Amino acid sequence: MPVHCHTFQNGLTLVAEPMMWLESVAFTFLVPVGAVYDTAERSGLSNLTCEMALRGCGGRDSREFIQALEELGVEGGESVGVSHTNLRGATLAKNLGPALAIYADLLRDATLPELELEQGRHVAVQELRSVEDDPAHKVMMELRRSHYPQPWGQPHQGDMPGLTTITIDEIRAQYRSGYRPNGTILGVAGRFDWDPLRQTVDRLLGDWEATDRCEPKTGRLHSVQKHLHHQSNQTQIGIAFPSVPYSHPDYFQAWGAVGVLSDGSSSRLFREVREKRGLCYAVSASTRSLKRLGSVFGYAGTTSNRAQETLNVMLEEMQKLGDGIEIVELNRLKARMKSSLIMAQESSLARSGAIARDWYYLERVRTLDEIGRLVDELTPDSINAYLTDNRPSRFTVVTLGPHPLEIPREISSATT
């Protein structure tokens, strides 16, 4: 079925894909306020603003807000990322309009109660502390901070100096400037009729007032090595190198290459690092995309006495990827890709998020059929041509454990 798109006069964009075989419908709001809009002195402001917005809206307190959604059977969630706050929910098709009305109140009329600021701050601080207790999460957070130019590497969790000093006035200012229609994308997928949906969104959000806001500048990716001391018998390894963003014509070639490297138990990293040598208990790599920057992020968790060898083999396999892939590797990967596409058709919530993100990156939506064709068109020759021009290099390496590791000389020289 076709994907419907409409941009209202205030800049809000509605993208919707019918999935009429379902009895449910899902929606995802991408609101243009994320970690990149936090100042260095108030890191975590967008995350705390989201937490406070959930504490009442449209005349409801936090408990009444939750109960209103539960009465409609809405299974929702929220998260703050690099550039957006993600608000999402799924419900029976007949309840879509009332559910969107509640979220319209959240977007336009959040109470942001000062009396609950300390409770909200406590939640945000606990989230930050949970990162400190999760070495794998901590090393990957530091890898993003080291690899991306500021503010694009800034973690949404913030830091303790920022979280403990944010005021209610700063939260209200962030809400007024960030929760705005221009730049907000609403993705809907499932059982719905397009014209009534568009009219409902127009009624709820069509007169939402737009505001101006300066967009953060984008610099260049970094290439650094950093070690975080952590007394443990384990070492966490994070590796990143430049790739192409989702909007790039060669993105699917990059995705295919990284899939051969790390998608499934037949992938090169799993086979060489874990299966043959037994070096680690976890190893992976995946493509990551910002609006204009793309990267590949890799991770391994291992014992400290085998950490150096693990790092060496991971970097070696990443560099060897530049020599090309073989047809048997690509055939296995395509089968996994097709399975993922089929499963995506079974989840309206996943699809609503995907089409919203497509609009952000591409200003259009790729249908599942189009994605399927792009996967079918992948060949060893097309991926190898991409790898010839985009050999993995300029590595950022962050390690966390009792001892720092060394990048092998032959790789270090290629990195610098």
Compute the Cα dihedral for 88, 90, 96, 99 and give only its sign.
negative
Asked, for residue 214, whether it belongs to a domain, the answer is no
Question: What local confidence, expressed as pLDDT, does residue 160 receive?
Answer: 94
**Element (H or E) spanning 77, and its range?**
strand 75-80
Do 118 and 255 share a domain, yes or no? no
CB distance 34 to 231 below 8 Å: no
Q: What CA–CA distance (Å, rounded) separates 124 from 333?
A: 39
Question: What local confidence, expressed as pLDDT, does residue 415 receive?
Answer: 54
Do 266 and 180 share a domain, yes or no? no
Do 198 and 234 share a domain, yes or no? no
Do 168 and 246 share a domain, yes or no? no
Question: What local confidence, expressed as pLDDT, does residue 416 receive?
Answer: 47
Among residues 205, 240, 273, which one ends one of the domains?
A: 205
Could you give the percent of the chain with pLDDT greater than 90? 84
Find the domain containing 311 and state its range: 225-415
- β-pairing, 225-229 with 234-243? unpaired
Q: Report DSSP letters for 200-243, one per residue.
A: HHHHHHTTPPP---PPPP--PPP--EEEEE--SSEEEEEEEEEE
Do 231 and 184 share a domain, yes or no? no
The CATH number linked to 303 is 3.30.830.10
Do 279 and 355 share a domain, yes or no? yes
Q: List, for the chain, all residue ranges whose pLDDT scores fall below the cut of 50.
A: 413, 416
Question: What local confidence, expressed as pLDDT, does residue 322 receive?
Answer: 93
Overall number of domains in the chain: 2
Closest by Cα among 176, 284, 190 to 240: 284
Asked, for residue 210, whether it belongs to a domain, the answer is no
Do 157 and 245 share a domain, yes or no? no
Asked, for residue 122, whether it belongs to a domain, the answer is yes
Do 27 and 174 share a domain, yes or no? yes
Asked, for residue 50, whether it belongs to a domain, the answer is yes
Do 196 and 230 share a domain, yes or no? no
Could you give the percent of the chain with pLDDT greater than 70? 98
Q: What is the pLDDT of residues 368-408, one digit of tens each?
A: 889 889 999 999 999 999 999 999 999 999 999 999 999 98
Q: What is the pLDDT of residues 304-313, one digit of tens each?
A: 999 999 999 9
Asked, for residue 212, whether it belongs to a domain, the answer is no
Do 101 and 160 share a domain, yes or no? yes
Question: What local confidence, expressed as pLDDT, does residue 412 receive?
Answer: 55
Residue 151 sits at the vertex; the CA angle it makes with 352 and 243, to the nearest 5 degrees, is 65
Asked, for residue 218, whether it belongs to a domain, the answer is no
Q: What CA–CA distance (Å, rounded) separates 265 from 302?
A: 18
Q: What CA–CA distance (Å, rounded) separates 289 from 364?
A: 17
Compute the Cα dihedral for 407, 413, 415, 416 and give only its sign.
positive
What is the CB neighbour count within 10 angstroms for residue 414? 17
Do 43 and 125 share a domain, yes or no? yes
Question: What local confidence, expressed as pLDDT, does residue 413 receive?
Answer: 47
Do 348 and 242 share a domain, yes or no? yes
Q: What is the CA radius of gyration of the chain?
A: 23
